[in-house]
Structure 1
Amino acid sequence: MLIDLLDAEFSVLGHPILWREVVGNGFGLLSAIGGMRRVVWAWPVGIIGNALLFTVFLGGVFHTPQALDLYGQAGRQLMFIAVSVYGLVRWMRDSKRTGAAVLPRWGTARERTAMIVVAVLGTVVFAQLFGYLGSFGKWADAWIFTGSMLATFGMARGLTEFWLIWIAVDIVGVPLLIVAGFYPSAVLYLVYAAFVAWGFAVWFRVQNKNFGQKMAS
């Protein structure tokens, strides 16, 4: 019964689509909304979506309609789960200490430099790894993996820049997913692009409000 539910499909314009890809992305969007609102439940909700999407992006292993292995996208789901555990613990701890799950701020010069170095080196290293494994679109896949890692870690630490990193991930991710045939995920990336701009504005406003309160005190 469970296997039947996981393998359930529907068709859009003749293209078979797994329901678990749609549901997994739905959990991802709900997690993003929780992240924008800075609530702790964003992390466990995201983990559920990550687990579902992990099976989707290993199409050759789990026999999805696309039958393509996007190792970067699949590995990204495992990375999300690991970083989400870190984010959940950090936000719960901060919530008990300050009353807020996270207080948005700009990254320091040191943090920004580290992010740039990781972005470049991570993309190069993972492109070679994913290419060796036979991943489809290794360079795009490598940047999506690296950028997603940086963005998720930035969210856990309350860095407002993480929204901007997501935009850069979406710009590369949409074409890759369309070419690979993962249409629900590509559509969600487009939705994310608009949502990310909104989320950035929300965090930026909260950040400025907190800064103004500190200056006033």
Structure 2
Amino acid sequence: MTGPLGWLLDAQVQVAGSPVLVREVVGNVFGLASALFGLRLAVWAWPVGMAGNALLFTVFLGGAFATPQAHDLYGQAGRQVFFFAVSLYGWWRWSRNRRPGADGDRAAVAPRWATGRERLGLLLAAAVGTAVAYPVLAALGSWGPLADAWILTGSLLATYGMARGWVEFWLIWIAVDAVGVPLLLRGGFYPSAAMYLVYGAFCAWGFAAWWRTSRSARPARAPLPPTYSEAVA
């Protein structure tokens, strides 16, 4: 393939004596930009992230796309597909919230803590999703299938939580990064591992920012009605 797209698919740089795909670097930069837009509650978080998903999908399938690594991470590749689908939902949901209201444009999302029932749903989905994904990824020959299964499941839950505006989605991302960094380092995906480290620090910042926003957006408690004695005093 020739032209800019062909260059993007084939170009490599040397980092500490090891070949690194330019598209892996660019895909992760798109991912970081998406997180920055998400921190600012901007709808652009979704289309920018989807562009990064498309690039990283080609990175983690070395059997179909030429990569210098010897490992296929099917969970990492599969999550890009699911990311793309969930991002369509998030893009639609945030765009709908941005429609003009009586007081002008509304914020794309109002950060809030998940309810107890929603948190229980997240925990159950994390356990079931990881348990289901693990044997599938192991059968496909994915490298590090258990870690890959959690990364796939946790990433989907974090993306869904972001679309819903749950503050906890940042914590899920931190848990994904904690597993993803050592896996990617062992597999030789150094730009992605480095970006995961950046994501971890950024997610801590994003969590604090959304937490503050959720507190400031919390409606004030209505004053209690006066008692009978106070009313007649």
Say what the alpha-carbon RMSD is for the aligned residues: 1.3
After superposition, give the CA deviation of every residue in 1:153-186 in whole Å (9 maximum; x if it has no partner): 0000000000000010000000000000000000
Could you tell me which residue of structure 1 aligns to residue 217 of structure 2? Answer: 210
Normalising to structure 2: TM-score of the pair?
Answer: 0.90
Moved over 3 A (4+): 213-217
Q: Which runs of 5+ in 2 are unaligned?
A: 224-233
Distance (Å, rounded) in 1 between the aligned partners of 2:41 and 2:13:
34
Distance (Å, rounded) in 2 between the aligned partners of 1:138 and 1:32:
26
Could you tell me which residue of structure 2 aligns to residue 50 of structure 1? Answer: 53
| 195, 200, 203: which one aligns with 1:196 | 203
Distance (Å, rounded) in 2 between the aligned partners of 1:182 and 1:156:
28
Distance (Å, rounded) in 2 between the aligned partners of 1:56 and 1:32:
20
| 5, 21, 26: which one aligns with 2:8 | 5
Distance (Å, rounded) in 2 between the aligned partners of 1:37 and 1:159:
14
Normalising to structure 1: TM-score of the pair?
Answer: 0.97
Q: Does 1:19 align with 2:25?
A: no
Q: What is the percentage of aligned positions where both structures have the same residue?
A: 62
Q: What letter matches 2:55 in structure 1?
A: L
The alignment covers a number of residue pairs equal to: 216
Task: Kindly report which structure 2 residues correspond to 1:51-66, keeping only aligned pairs within 5 A, or say none.
Answer: 51-66=54-69
Q: Does 1:167 align with 2:159?
A: no
Could you tell me which residue of structure 1 aligns to residue 118 of structure 2? Answer: 111
Could you tell me which residue of structure 2 aligns to residue 141 of structure 1? Answer: 148
Q: What letter matches 2:87 in structure 1?
A: S
Q: Does 1:183 align with 2:190?
A: yes
Q: CA offset at residue 94 of structure 1?
A: 1.2
Secondary structure (helix, strand or coil) at the match of 1:117 reads helix
Secondary structure (helix, strand or coil) at the match of 2:71 reads coil
**Cα contact 1:27–1:46 (8 A) shared by 2:** yes
Distance (Å, rounded) in 1 between the aligned partners of 2:209 and 2:59:
32
Q: Which runs of 5+ in 1 are unaligned?
A: none
After superposition, give the CA deviation of every residue in 1:95-135 in whole Å (9 maximum; x if it has no partner): 21570100001111111111101101110110100000000
Secondary structure (helix, strand or coil) at the match of 2:63 reads helix
**Cα contact 1:25–1:185 (8 A) shared by 2:** yes
Task: Kindly report which structure 2 residues correspond to 1:142-157, keeping only aligned pairs within 5 A, or say none.
Answer: 142-157=149-164
Distance (Å, rounded) in 2 between the aligned partners of 1:24 and 1:17:
12
